[in-house]
Amino acid sequence: MTVFERVPKRRRGYDIDQVDDLLERARVAYDTGGGDITAETVRTAAFDLVREGYDPKAVDAALDRLEEAFAMRERDEAIAAMGEGEWQELARDQARVVVARLLRQEGHRFRRAGIFGVGYNRHQVDRLGDRIVAYFRTGEPLAIEEVRDAVFARQGNGYSERQVDALLDRTVEIMLAVG
């Protein structure tokens, strides 16, 4: 069992049992090549916040490494199953879908949260989107952590958080697959 540092008393951290359960399931899945854990499962894992739980920064760093390990194995399995050329074409197709979305007119790349809704700051999302396009099109440097850890201010009638988050997750998935 992995034990992470806990947050100080009266602070909230990740639920210890939930984190330990995911990590144990991931260990079994990775060791046996089976189970229900994938890179996506790790990337989208969420835990309740409880008093004196695990330090979220330490757990998140470990999950990032675990996600990368699963992604590399999934990439190797896909290449073995379909061949490198076909796999590369699939990755390019997935990147094209992301780029097509991000080439839409600034301020209109995602659904809006609505007049009375609050969403992500459109300008900030568009700036990161421009960097993602440059990464996929011309190989401009972009660290996976910049996408994975992106935080945006909130604004009225901003971009739909769900849509933006889904695209960023897909971008991380592609970056890990080709990385």
pLDDT in tens, 123-167: 999 999 999 999 999 999 999 999 999 999 999 999 999 999 999
Q: Give the pLDDT confidence score for residue 50 in this predicted structure.
A: 95
Percentage helix, strand, coil for the chain under 3-state DSSP, each rounded to 5: 60, 10, 30
- Is 148 part of any domain? yes
45 and 90 belong to one structural domain:
no
Asked if residue 68 and residue 36 are part of one domain, the reply reads yes
In the chain, DSSP assigns E strands to: 12-14, 49-51, 118-120, 154-156
The pLDDT of residue 176 is 86
Instruction: For residue 80, give both structure tokens.
Output: 């073995």
pLDDT confidence of residue 2: 60
Predicted confidence at residue 126, as pLDDT, reads 97
Length of the chain: 179
71 and 89 in a single domain? The answer is no
Residues of the chain with pLDDT under 70: 1-2, 179
Ranges of beta strands (E only) in 70-168 are 118-120, 154-156
- Give the H or E element holding residue 158: none
**Residue 109 corresponds to which tokens in the numbers above?**
């790349």
DSSP 159: B
- The domain total for the chain is 2
Residues of the chain with pLDDT > 90: what percent? 70
- Asked which of 21, 55, 79 is the last residue of a domain, the reply is 79
